[in-house]
Chains A and B, each alone.
Chain A
Amino acid sequence: MASEYTTSEYIKHHLTNATMCSTDNGIAFNKACADAGFWTWHVDTLAFSIGLGVLFLALFKSVASKATTGVPGKMQAFVELVVDFVDDNVKSTFHGRNALIAPLALTIFVWVLLMNLMDLVPVDLIPWIAGLVGSNVFGMDPHDVYIKAVPTTDINLTFALAAGVFVLIIYYSIKMKGITGFAKELTMQPFGHPLFIPVNFILETVTLLARPLSLALRLFGNLYASELIFILIATIGYFQLPLHFMWAVFHILVLPLQAFIFMMLTIVYLSLACEDH
């Protein structure tokens, strides 16, 4: 914890995204974007998430294009382990053939896991580097350089993932059951009487919308909270060392678990969308 901050300033600084927007005077950053409204971009979230996504895809692609059917190398064995793990989960949950579900699950699992793992990077490291770069290269006040390294603590990202899944849920519901089938599912359940159509519609719509909402908020909530605790631990001086260690060890479990839950629920929701009741 840098000493020139008060604790609340420190926490606030760590929880603020680097933002970018275009104003009348051209592209502006951070505090200049306070009034920009919706058209503001969290450049740190975008950069880290896309960087990690590209890292994941580049790694897996390079293994995939060199993949041998004989004795695999260590890297290939590892990648195949991950792929096989995802494939097993998809096969045990999603019945039927679909070329999209498994790669989707793999992308979600590995990408979310990589983004979650950013949580284990010491909370001050990346902001400190960013502060140095910001003050030395761009001549900014280090206090004005914001950076949030864990993309999954950004609600925009978790909602984007959930929205992607939601679009697929709607798409597969309509594709597998037809528009009438989908409409029937929304209106004739759980009470199979025309009189109950409005009640059913409200209930089913809530059910439908609760899925992406819970996906997004679960991931965001868990990661935001754990990041917050990491930051809080970082404010208490030397005692942070054992505490930080314990919290980090705990997150070796939590971070993959959150990625796994997101993947599994995606598979389950899509499997529900594809099946007739």
Chain B
Amino acid sequence: MPEAADPASVTAREAQAFARVTLARHPDRPRALRLIELLFSDWTELHGDRLFADDRAVVGGPARLGNRWVMVIGQEKGTDARTRVIHNFGMPHPEGYRKAKRLMLLAQKFGLPLICLVDTPAAHAGVEAEERGQAWAIADSMLTMFGLKVPTISVIVSEGGSGGALALAVADSVLALENAIYTVAPPETCAAILYRDANQKARAALSLRPEVATARALGVVDELVPEPSPGAHAHPLVVAAALKGALVRHLCDLEAQPRDLLLEARWERYEDPAPGSIPPGSPSA
């Protein structure tokens, strides 16, 4: 047990931990559509899940990375009041995950590697989402992605929250921008579950260690893409260039492997997906 915690310093550490969450949610961070524009060429968006609707929280379609065609799927939060509503703040409904699944299978059919840009606080929580099987849609997206016979890369762009993020992140390589967060649930939800009080989000953030450096230490994320201070919101072009370099590098590595070895490596990875640990007393921030 550490020495009796000084309430003032605990509050300060909680505030510091939550500041990371706030930074990851900075409204000017590049969103999926912006990154797609910066990273790829010939992006052609495809719409709809062929079952119910077109969920604009998930965007996807083929694009070229350098001169290599890939399938891109991204979670888009929107950039202003109008587009945030259109994209539902990046919180997909089941049809978003079903669109993703459709595009994954399309990629597999024609041998396109898959690149997913993850940016969601969580899957949408609502009556309609439950009626249309949110749990089933997420479960199916994960199962499809895990079994995909093409190389897969996911990038935690800003906010990777809950199964809503993991549905697009069961990949061969998982990258993250340095100031992103990756959590089991948004700190507000964690606080509601642990303390029955969403206002204790800072306390939850301190204990949960949402920063992607934690994910890297646990072995969940393979590489952090550096962001010049103060962050990607101030330097979107620099960050996009660094991310593009990392994507090309990982894609080359994955494509060089025979498919059976690729799938075997994927199995081994997800047999124990988070083998690392964070030692006690290590600072969260």
A, B: real partners: no
Q: Which A residues form the contact surface with B (CB < 8 A)?
A: none
